[in-house]
Amino acid sequence: MSIMILITTLISFLAFGSHAADHSLSLEYYSSSCPTAHQIVRKEMECAITSEPRLAASMLRLHFHDCFVQGCDGSVLLDDTFTLQGEKKASTNVNSIRGFSLVDRIKNKLESECPGVVSCADLLAIAARDAVVLVGGPYWHVPVGRKDSRTASNELATTNLPTSSQGLLTLITKFLYQGLSVTDMVALLGAHTIGLARCESFRDRIYGDFKATTVMDPLSETYLNKLKSVCPATEGTGGENTSAMDYLTPNLFDNSFYQILLRGEGLLNSDQEMYSSLFGIQTKKLVQKYAEDPVAFFQQFSDSMVKMGNITNQDSFETGEVRKNCRFINT
């Protein structure tokens, strides 16, 4: 395990030059060019989440999926065109990311107030923070000043993004590659305290080792039976059905996700691995810590979100732009 992480860390260090923030972000970037930017995003997020609470998790996920591919550069928002293959149809994204209409609405408001000023990448970073706050989570200051890329990478979306079926060492490797520590990983995956997962993402888990990781008391039996009613064992049936990743408080950003892992009832294999894997000595302690101490979780989540948001695409600073429409590069 230690050798594995050492090697991966070295790979991360060598590769991280493409992520390093030579162009520093700033809390004051829009203070004169668009002083109402944060308020505009917040107002639209409030309206959206009031009518559809699920959008909080959707916007948070969009930011995460953006930053893990080419850095936080808005590439995840680009539609396919004749000359550009976007990331939306990558296997890791196609049935996972949503909320693009909300992004369009926010962008239209920003363009009306401050044309050509606020990037789509910054929009996502601010909206992700507001999403968390609006469902009870912590507030953090969002550094801004990102540019939007003129490229996307379907290939990197497929390889860089973690999936629900992957084991702990693979997950750690993918986070380390982005310059994020094991502590960052455990805290950031706490975002699964809100949001839904599709049956296809947890079928193998509930018909596999779910019973092995839980004490299977009456509450666990009831929960498992409910999951099986939502997600049939047969491949190709019920794949679009969904279940909350945090069945205790599905629309509240809190630490109950970690308490569920302590019971061995994590919906996704990749989540439960943090507590139940034989390799999870460090991750298990962190899960226990955050399950017991919501303040510690909120603080680390905030710090890790800023760190993830600082994964920048150096090419976008040199050749990037502020898109007028987040779905298409400027012409």
Averaged pLDDT in 10-residue chunks for the chain of 331 residues = 43 41 82 98 98 97 98 97 96 95 98 98 98 98 97 97 96 98 98 97 96 92 96 89 97 98 97 97 98 98 98 87 98 90
Q: At what angle do helices 168-177 and 269-276 cross, to 10 degrees?
A: 100
Closest CA to 120 of 331, 330, 270: 330
CA distance 45 to 32: 23
Active site residue 65: yes
DSSP β-bridge partners for residue 198: 242
Cα torsion at 285, 286, 292, 294 (round to 10°)?
Answer: 170
Task: Summarize the annotated binding site for Ca(2+) as residue ranges.
Answer: 66, 69, 71, 73, 75, 87, 193, 246, 249, 254
Tens of pLDDT, residue by residue over 127-140, are 999 999 999 999 99
pTM over 0.85: yes
- Positions at the binding site for heme b: 192
- The count of other CB atoms within 10 Å of the CB of residue 188 is 19
Contact 199, 239 (CB under 8 A): yes
List of E strands, 132-289: 196-198, 242-244
How far apart CA 306 and CA 317 sit, in angstroms, is 19
Tokens representing residue 164 in the block: 């629900």
Residues 6+ apart with CB under 8 A from 294: 254, 255
Residue 135 carries which side chain, given as an amino acid letter? V
For tokens 């569920």, the residue is 260
Active-site hit among 23, 63, 65, 141: 65
For 222-259, the DSSP string reads: HHHHHHHHHS-SSTTSSTT-EEESSSSSTTS-SSHHHH
> pLDDT digit string (tens) for 138-197?
999 999 999 999 999 999 999 999 999 999 999 999 999 999 999 999 999 999 999 999
Annotated binding site: 66, 69, 71, 73, 75, 87, 162, 192-193, 246, 249, 254
Q: Are the beta carbons of 124 and 152 closer than 8 angstroms?
A: no
Structure tokens at 62: 């969009």
In this prediction, residue 18 carries a pLDDT of 40
> In the structure encoding, which two tokens stand for residue 28, read together?
């004051």
Per-residue pLDDT at 20: 42
Q: Which residues are annotated as a binding site for substrate?
A: 162
The one-character DSSP state at 154 is H
- Tell me, what's the pLDDT at 6? 40
Q: Could you tell me the CA-to-CA distances from 305 to 36, 64, 155, 208 in Å, in that order?
A: 22, 9, 24, 32
Confidence (pLDDT) at 216: 86
